[in-house]
Amino acid sequence: MASQFIPKSMAMMSAKMDSYVRNRFKLETQGAQTASPGSIVTFNLPESALIHLPSIRFFFDVATTSSTVNAATVYGRLPADASSLISKLEIYIGGVQVQNGTAEYNTIARILKLSEGSLPRDQSVDRAISHGAVVEADATETEQLCIQEWRGFIGESATEYLPTDLTGAVTLRLTFAQPNVLVPKEAGQAIGADLTSADARAAAANITYSISNMYVTLDSIVPEAAYNNALRERLSREDIRINYKEYNSFSMAGVGSSFTHNFSVASHSIDKVYGVLRDTNYLDTGVKGYELSSAGVGDTKISNFARFRTFENGDNLRYNWSVNQVQHPQYLARSIEALADLSYCSNKLGQKAQGTLVSHKDWFKEGMGVFTLQLNCPTEAGVAVRSGFSSAGINSQLNLKMSGLTTPVAAPTTTQETADRTSFVVAETTQQLCIGLGKQLSLVY
């Protein structure tokens, strides 16, 4: 028998919140006011406050350098997205590390943006405040940037509000990336063109950047007394539990025309897994950027660091994942299926849903190739529900298997490509922060 249903759009109601106060604070670094590649900066958030997590923004000024060797001059250009300049993000709450600072935070942010981002957002907000695109010019860059999209506890938590009077002090530690994330621009040559000489390549290897004028802003909330009373009443009965996203990365260099990348994750909820391939020279400073084919829609220039290639030999690429020897999918899939899964794994379904940043299959193969595995059930409650594969307490083995790849011929004096590729895999999990009486904290992985 069908139940009766009244849509929310037909509801008639009125409510109000009394005594609601919001204020914004500016936080300086705990230490030096300038930074360079590899530097670590620390911010301590206010205690005894109700922090609105989405309001946390990191502002900084960045200046790139140029280098001249004999007659060759190369300028450092910033990569797409300010998050590319952050190699590690660690978060401590009450002395407990709730975000472990997994390697290559910037790579993870780029992978997720390709899938979860959308062209309107990328071409407006990201371009305006976060340097969302590589810009071509024969000059160094000096920019004022803002990072307000965070991966992990700050940006992907089951609550938007954190009561630090119950948790204790919150500390953010950010590590700046090495200059290999920059895009070298030789004077008179287009980004994507081969560097013209040994002098140009030597100059490109010298480019770097510096950071200054760093600070964090955030909003602190004073809610109605009933909210604080409800938190304390609940805390007297049981722990307060907050789900949030955490990421673990695994790298394997030296992959050939076919390979199996094995890794293991211990978690109560493995939600998704992402895999990309790059030339191992992505770790080297001064490798030229790349110009995607013009058939797609959106920004076409990408840094070598963020160039995720499929290395597909014709149309022969085949792949699948395996979880405890169970294949996903149950057959060898093609690259077009991985491209289709980019929107599927982000739950962007139907004609009314926003798209991804990959607007052409050639773009996917040339520099935006992300292979996904979805293991959780998308729900309206989002991260508040843990529905992924549980590997806790068991020796779970996962792997990504690929074949049908072609290995580029090493060309150090032209394309700068090597014959070595690296597979990089990211496991997205849902962890749980448990807040007990007396600011006692624990984690459930």
Tokens 């391939």, located at residue: 277
Other residues' Cβ atoms within 10 Å of the Cβ of residue 55: 17
pLDDT < 50 stretches in the chain: none
Q: Which residues pair with 221 in a beta bridge?
A: 22, 50
Contact 94, 333 (CB under 8 A): no
Beta strands in 377-420 (DSSP E): 398-403
User: In which element (H, E) is residue 366 found?
Assistant: helix 361-366
Q: What is the pLDDT of residue 20?
A: 85
Give residue-wise pLDDT tens across range 243-273.
Answer: 999 999 999 999 999 999 999 999 999 999 9
Q: How far apart are CA 383 and CA 378, in angstroms?
A: 9
Q: What is the pLDDT of residue 3?
A: 78
Cα 47 to Cα 34, 167, 169: the distances in Å are 25, 9, 6
Closest CA to 255 of 417, 103, 405: 405
Q: What is the pLDDT of residue 1?
A: 60
SS3 192: coil
Other residues' Cβ atoms within 10 Å of the Cβ of residue 421: 24
Query: What tokens appear for 111 in the block?
Result: 């992978």
> Chain centroid to CA 396: how far?
25
Q: How far apart are CA 358 and CA 298, in angstroms?
A: 8
DSSP label at residue 127: H
Other residues' Cβ atoms within 10 Å of the Cβ of residue 205: 18
Kindly give the residue spans of alpha helices, DSSP state H, lying in 49-161.
Answer: 105-116, 119-121, 127-129
Give residue-wise pLDDT tens across range 102-155.
Answer: 999 999 999 999 999 999 999 999 999 999 999 999 999 999 999 999 999 999
SS3 88: strand
Q: What is the pLDDT of residue 429?
A: 97
Q: How far apart are CA 15 and CA 9, in angstroms?
A: 16
